[in-house]
Structures are given as C-alpha cells and as structure tokens.
Structure 1
Amino acid sequence: MEVADSLVKITEKYLTRRRVKQYIRKERSKRRHFIIDWLDAFLWAAGVVLLLNQYLIQAYQIPSPSMEKTLIVGDRIFVNKLVYGPELLPGIAKLPSPIKPKRGDIIIFENPQYISQGPIFDVLQRIIYMLTLSMVDIDKNPDGTPKHHFLIKRAAAADGDTIKNIDGYIYFKPEGESEWLDETTYRTRLDQKNKTQRLIKDENYNTIRLGSHAIALNNSGATLTSDESSAYSQIQTDRDYFDLYSIQFYANKSELALNRTSKIDFATYYKDINGQFVPHGWILPLGDNRDNSKDGRSFGIISKKEVLGQAMIKYWPLNRFGLIK
C-alpha cells in the first residue's frame, strides 16, 4: 500500500505541475499582443515559403516577350527547383542531381551579363521576391523596370551540337554528322512539339543586308546612296527589319570586305560563319521568339551546372493556367 500511495502522490504532483505550466502558458498567451501573434504566424509562414521556393518550387514573372508564344509578358509561373538540384543558399553551391537539362527543356538560369550589387543585396532581393511570390522585385534599372537577373529560355542545343544562325533561322549539326539540319527537321527527330515565332519576313532581308552594308560604309566615312540611306534608317528604327544578329553579321562581313585590317570581333564573325560548337555538359539557350530575344547567340553557352530549374506551370493569369511545354 505504501508503494501505491507513493505512486499516487508522485502522479498527482506531476499532473499538478503540468496543469500549472499549461495555465501559465495560457495566461501569457492571453496577455500577448495580437500583433505578436500575427508576427509569429507570418514568420512561420515565411519560413515555409522560403524553404519551398529555395528547394522545391519557385515563382517567377515573365518580364520580356523573348519566349512568346510559349510564355508572354506578365505570365507568372512556377519553376521546379528540385529537378536539377537546388542551390544550398541563393547564389551559392548547388546540390547534385542525377537529372540533367536536355534539349527542349525550358530552363531558368542567372543572366551571364547581369552585374551584381553584392551578395547581401542579391540574397535580400531573392528572399523578398520569393516571399511575395514574384510580386515585389527590388532589383530595378534606373528607369524602374526590373533587371533581368534571371533568364528563362529553351535549351536549344547541347552535348556536341553545332548551331548556326542564318537570316533568323537556326540550323543544327549534331555530333558526328556532316549535314546541317533545319530546325523543324531537328526538332522532329527529337520528338519536340514546341514552335518558334518569327517577326521578320524573309523578303525583308534584302533591306537588312543593304542596311548592314550601309553601316560599314558609314563607319568608313563613305557617302551613302539614297537606297543605302533608306535601308540604314529602316534597320535601326523599324521593328520589321531589326534582326540584331543578322545586322551584326552582315555589317562585319561588309566591314571586312572594305578593310582587311578591320578590328571587327573576329571570334563572333567566324562563329556566325562556321557555327557555334556546344561541348558536352553545356547548353545553348534560345528564346522561342527568335527575332525578339537576347539569348545564347549574344552571351554564348552556359554550363548545365548553372541551370537553376525547369519551367513547370503557368498559374496566373487564370486564363493562361496550364503546363509549360
């Protein structure tokens, strides 16, 4: 009986102490201001959002028309951050993944031409961007437009491909082959269903070639004919004639014909003539809207290790909701 009585007393003492602690906790909770409760709930939710955005799914807003009609300006999308291995922290080393980006994937990566304001700002900007589901972006240009810190493009070529741009059309030469394939044939071989968009008509390239030649003449101090002057004006002011990559190529070609000692960018020029080789483990990203996209034709190839995620779903506006292909 003495043992039983001792157990009862110990149990009662424990339960009494437990009830007292619960009572004190409850009273403290009553006295705590509602703002503190709200802040606790917000911080907890923010932590969950940050973890989800950093390691699983992240929200982005499309800032430019470079991927039309697949993605249009203002589309809000979710990106799969886990598939290729998430970053440990924003801008810091990535975890490995057995899945690698492949041709046809719509990928997100850091803009190779982006100028950082420092690691602290970068981390703060990405945290705010993630917490607000892409609603608030503090990384802006002087005119108030968001900087293109991250780019979303399609992985067009990879792993031994050679790629060439001729009058806005892309041609591919897969590794080990000698013939160039037009893009339609190449995508059919890979069973890709996506379509690209062209804004410039084929017949406009006579004006583009003449206007580009006029650029070289103008640089040499020569007097332009009326046709050359008109074409020169058109390729710089009329969107229907503005193919940045072709203008650069034809201007360099004319410059070299006029002056063999010209200081043109020979690396870019011969890449345009012979094609750009994409080594294994690397990707050449291109926009689906070929005549309005600053992409790998400008900044070059990127390593697969630099790919941060794969575009997965459009969630806003609702009439654009759907999987991204």
Structure 2
Amino acid sequence: MTADAETALIHTIPVDRIRIANPRSRNREMFAALVDSIASVGLKRPITVRRTSIDEDGPKYDLICGQGRLEAVMALGETTIPALIEDTDEADAYLRGLIENMARRKHTNRDLLTAIRIMEDRGYSSTEIGAKTGLDPSYISGILTLLREGEERLIAAVERGWMPIYLASQIAHSDDFTLQNMLMDAYQEGTLKGPQLLRVRRLIERRKLIGKAYGQKWPGKDQPPSSRRLAQVYQEEVHRQQMLIRKADIGEQRLILLTSALRRLLADEHFRTLLRAEGLLDLPKPLADRLKGEMP
C-alpha cells in the first residue's frame, strides 16, 4: 500500500460519535504527558475504529485502538479526531484491541487470559496465538489446558512468576500422594526454594479445600467434617511430616559433608595462614561446635 492510499483511509470523525467499548484505566502521569505531547506537536497516529450503526446524525463507531489518544484529544477540547475505519465484527475488534494493547504495555492477567480464550474459541492454534501475543507456544498450550479445567489459582501463580507452567500442569493432574513426591523432588532439584515451596503448598491446600477458581466460599464452619475428610487430613499431615523428615535428613547429610570438607581444609597449615591473612577468623556456631576439639 502506498503512502497516499494509506492516507486516504484516514477519516476525520466526531469524538462524540465514538463509543469506548472496553474502557481501561490508565496512569495519570502518563496520560498527562500524552495530553502535553498532543498539545505541543499534534496527534502523531490516528485511532482505529469500526462503524457500528447509523442514525439521523450520521455513523456511530466503536473504538478498537487508541483510548488514550481519544481521551487526550477530548481533554484538549477537540471535537473531531483522525481515525482509521476498519470493517470488522465486534469479536475481532475486541481481540484486536487486546492484542495491540498487550504489545505496547505490560498486560494484566485478565487481559492476557481473555485474549487467549477468545483466540482459541475463534479457532487459533497455540502456535498462532503465540505469534500474535509474543508468548511461547508451549506456554500457551499449558495455559489453555489450565483454562479448560478452570484452574484459576494455578494460572495466577504462573502469571505472578512463582510457579513454572509445567509444575502447574502437573499439579492439575496429580493425586495427593503424587503431589507430595513431586514437591519433594522439585525442592531437591532446586526448582522450588524454601519460601516458594511453602507458597505452593499453601496454594495446593487452598485449592483442595475451596476449589480451583476464585470467588468460591470456604466450607461452612458449622458443618461437621466427614470421616473421609478427617482421613484425608490425617494422610496429608502424615505426608507433611514425612517431607519434614526427608528435608531434615538431607540437611544433616549436607552438614556432615560440609564439616568433613572443612575439617580437611583446616588441617592444612597453608589454608589456616590464608584465613588469618584475610581476617577470616570466625565460623558459624553449629560448625564450630562440630569441629571443636577435633582440630589439631
């Protein structure tokens, strides 16, 4: 398309004929800067709209992209704005707006999931969705699996960055016993650190007790627990205690390895001279207690 042809598609339309179909809140400072920029140098890029209907006053439009620019022009008292008019339906326009907004700014979880849901419903594959959103297709595939199963809590954990997508998918398809072993393996491999492991455990317990989705209520306090629930709680506590024991055993083995290595190093006069030269004369008390009386 030539520059003249592209310019011919730009129309000047009244701002009061444009409806913001999916309004978004925005940062006040950034909006003020946008208003100042348009006041100083003018509007650099037209907004994008679609024609929805027509009445005695003329066509009506829905905004596809450019809410900030439209609101800034209105704040400056302008009554018209340059716009590209696209021939598209409401669903495509909504999807287009989501994708373009995500491309320009840090998206919210709700925007991302809504866009992915709409694109899958309209027949896009994981690869095609990844190309449009800039996300890895394997990530899209994992998110779609969690979306289909209503795993809102797991999706939120993935989006916040403290649970990898593969682990969320495993949690969604694992029973209690498998989950305990999987978490222990993740801890030993370093995939989940101490505080992160605790957060994942709390999420799993809340998901089990309340449900996969947000907005679900806690079970009534006056409702007596069933024998099955009591047995489940007992098994969970047994698994938790077993994990603590395994973690304690791992810690003990590492401490033995550390003290053994340190004992051999401290037996070397050259190493001790180096420590004195560097001013490293202290040891952690647990190590000092283990080594006390055993060094030459």
Query: TM-score of the superposition, structure 2-length normalised?
Result: 0.23
Tell me which protein shows more strand as a share of its residues. Answer: 1
Tell me which protein shows more helix as a share of its residues. Answer: 2
Bigger Rg, structure 1 or 2: 2
Query: TM-score of the superposition, structure 1-length normalised?
Result: 0.21
Query: Which structure ranks higher in relative contact order (CA pairs < 8 Å, sequence separation ≥ 6)?
Result: 1
